[in-house]
């Protein structure tokens, strides 16, 4: 393993030195392979340096170390998911071995009914693993996890409960749209329509309640669990209850794009377009949003690279789903513009310090928690988008 890592680093060192010393940027789609080679190099260093596989790497530091958190953390599945994508791209058995190694500790989350984030935790890790290996053990883990997730569904409200809290509240966040692909998959592989029905009901209620007339989204909707009535619409990680939190807008656009792909329901296509059109309309010149589109001190506000990566991946898929040629070209072009910015020195992590890809993402700006840092979810969707770019181009 050490020899493999050394070879990758040696092969990349000249290229990376040129990339960083000259201040040049990758030009996509031509250089998509080069960026993915950079990802292979960075994450080869990461898996070589990380020894405790019981805690998941969630954030890379500038000194080459990582913040690691328990498998119950919502970000826990992204690191293994990244390794599966690197195997998907390279087809090198080394990456399958590493992905399996980091998957192992996540298995215990299949019985976790205290969180809605099982899509991020299990589907991004075991889901990609099953897609690439057809491992029946991964299938069993995923099905049990889908059952755990479905237990958070309230049929009166019609959504999966996001956060636990007072008994009189049923909180659903826009992020929860990212669980629905997991449930749609579970329905297909088991033949049980219950998972699909939950996903569709959740999408419908979200569509009817999470969006303003201008296409922007609320982060949190609080429902009465006994009647399904809306009690409150607010934010948790955005600037204000009336603002548009960039990552939430990206989650919504991604989720409805996927739901149209899975169902063919034109309402979901319209929702995806409305949500992502609003996202595009408010992008700054470099096409990477600030953390909230309505933050008061723009342009002196933190950027949100993760939102750009998520939205770019969604837009690439959306460009293959719409029928109008002008829309196809527009969505593809904007995705490419976002990815080109992310592939520049302004957003890519320096190879001589970090062991990741993207800088400039945030956990919670209002709370002052992990502002302007790396997060594995930004890297995950960036790599996903690059792979999609290669396949769609």
Number of domains in the chain: 1
pLDDT digits (tens, 9 = 90+) for 209-243: 999 999 999 999 999 999 999 999 999 999 999 99
- Helix axes of 246-263 and 266-281: crossing angle, nearest 10 degrees: 150
229: in domain: no
Question: Which residues sit opposite 211 in a β-bridge?
Answer: 217
Backbone dihedral angles phi then psi of residue 361, each to the nearest 5 degrees: -125, 170
- Helix axes of 376-392 and 325-342: crossing angle, nearest 10 degrees: 130
Q: How does DSSP classify residue 357?
A: S
Annotated catalytic residue 213: no
pLDDT digits (tens, 9 = 90+) for 152-202: 999 999 999 999 999 999 999 999 999 999 999 999 999 999 999 999 999
pLDDT of residue 285 exceeding 80 = yes
**Domain containing 254 — which CATH number?**
1.50.10.10
CA distance 376 to 361: 10
Determine whether 323 is exposed, middle or buried from the number of CB atoms within 10 Å of its CB (0-12, 13-18, 19+).
exposed
Q: Which of 266, 283, 382, 243 is nearest to 322 (CA)?
A: 266
pLDDT digits (tens, 9 = 90+) for 321-372: 999 999 999 999 999 999 999 999 999 999 999 999 999 999 999 999 999 9
CA distance 306 to 41: 21
Q: How far is CA 256 from CA 58, 62, 250, 315, 345, in A?
A: 26, 35, 10, 11, 32
pLDDT confidence band for 393 (50 / 70 / 90): confident
356: in domain: yes
Position 140 scores a pLDDT of 98
Determine whether 82 is exposed, middle or buried from the number of CB atoms within 10 Å of its CB (0-12, 13-18, 19+).
buried
Q: What is the mean pLDDT of residues 39-49?
A: 98
Annotated catalytic residue 175: yes
92: in domain: no
Q: Which residue has the tokens 């190879």?
A: 351
Set 52, 135, 175, 294: catalytic member: 175
Tokens linked to 273: 């377009």
| DSSP code string of 295-320 | -TTTTSS-B-HHHHHHHHHHHHHHHH
Distance linking the first and last C-alpha atoms of the chain: 33
pLDDT of residue 115 exceeding 90 = yes
pLDDT of residue 3 exceeding 80 = no
pLDDT digits (tens, 9 = 90+) for 84-94: 999 999 999 99
CA distance 65 to 59: 9
Q: Which residue has the tokens 């928690």?
A: 369
**Residue 121: half-sphere exposure toward Cβ, Cα within 13 Å:** 30
Q: Which residue has the tokens 């699909």?
A: 196
Set 31, 88, 117, 345: catalytic member: 117
152: in domain: no
60: in domain: yes
Position 21 scores a pLDDT of 31
pLDDT digits (tens, 9 = 90+) for 4-20: 544 444 444 444 444 44
Give the number of other Cβ atoms within 10 Å of residue 72's Cβ. Answer: 15
113: in domain: no
Position 152 scores a pLDDT of 98
320: in domain: yes
Helix (H) or strand (E) run with residue 234 in it: strand 230-234
Determine whether 69 is exposed, middle or buried from the number of CB atoms within 10 Å of its CB (0-12, 13-18, 19+).
middle
CA distance 379 to 388: 14
CA distance 137 to 245: 38
DSSP H stretches of helix in 104-233: 118, 128-133, 136-150, 180-190, 193-209
CA distance 332 to 310: 14
Tokens linked to 159: 């959504």
233: in domain: no
Domain that holds residue 379: 1-69+246-393
């Amino acid at each position: 393993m050490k020899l493999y890592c050394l070879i990758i680093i040696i092969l990349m060192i000249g290229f990376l030195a040129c990339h960083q010393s000259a201040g040049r940027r990758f030009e996509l789609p031509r250089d998509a392979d080069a960026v993915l080679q950079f990802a292979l190099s960075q994450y080869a260093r990461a898996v070589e340096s990380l020894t405790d596989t019981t805690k998941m790497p969630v954030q890379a530091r500038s000194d080459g170390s990582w913040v690691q958190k328990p498998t119950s953390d919502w970000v826990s599945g992204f690191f293994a998911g990244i390794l599966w994508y690197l195997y998907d791209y390279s087809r090198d058995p080394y990456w399958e071995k590493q992905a399996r190694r980091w998957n192992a500790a996540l298995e215990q989350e299949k019985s976790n009914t205290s969180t809605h984030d099982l899509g991020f935790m299990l589907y991004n890790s075991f889901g990609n693993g099953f897609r690439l290996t057809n491992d029946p053990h991964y299938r069993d883990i995923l099905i049990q996890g889908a059952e755990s997730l479905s237990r958070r569904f309230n049929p009166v409200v019609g959504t999966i409960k996001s956060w636990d809290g007072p008994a009189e509240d049923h909180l659903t966040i826009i992020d929860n749209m990212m669980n629905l692909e997991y449930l749609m998959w579970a329905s297909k592989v088991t033949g049980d329509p219950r998972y699909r029905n939950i996903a569709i009901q959740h999408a419908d209620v979200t569509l009817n309640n999470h969006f303003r007339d201008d296409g922007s989204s609320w982060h949190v909707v609080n429902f009465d669990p006994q009647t399904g009535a809306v009690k409150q619409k607010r934010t948790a990680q955005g600037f204000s209850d009336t603002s548009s939190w960039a990552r939430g807008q990206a989650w919504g656009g991604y989720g409805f794009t996927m739901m149209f792909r899975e169902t063919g329901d034109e309402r979901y296509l319209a929702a995806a377009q409305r949500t992502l059109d609003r996202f595009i309309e408010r992008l700054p010149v470099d096409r990477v949003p600030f953390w909230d589109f309505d933050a008061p001190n723009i342009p002196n506000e933190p950027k949100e690279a993760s939102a750009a990566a998520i939205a770019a991946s969604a837009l690439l898929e959306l460009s293959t789903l719409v029928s109008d040629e002008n829309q196809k070209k527009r969505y593809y072009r904007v995705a490419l513009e976002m990815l080109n910015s992310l592939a520049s020195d302004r957003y890519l992590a320096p190879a001589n310090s970090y062991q990741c890809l993207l800088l400039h993402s945030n956990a919670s700006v209002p709370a002052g928690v992990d502002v302007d840092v790396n997060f594995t979810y930004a890297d995950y969707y960036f790599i996903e988008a690059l792979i999609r770019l290669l396949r769609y181009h």
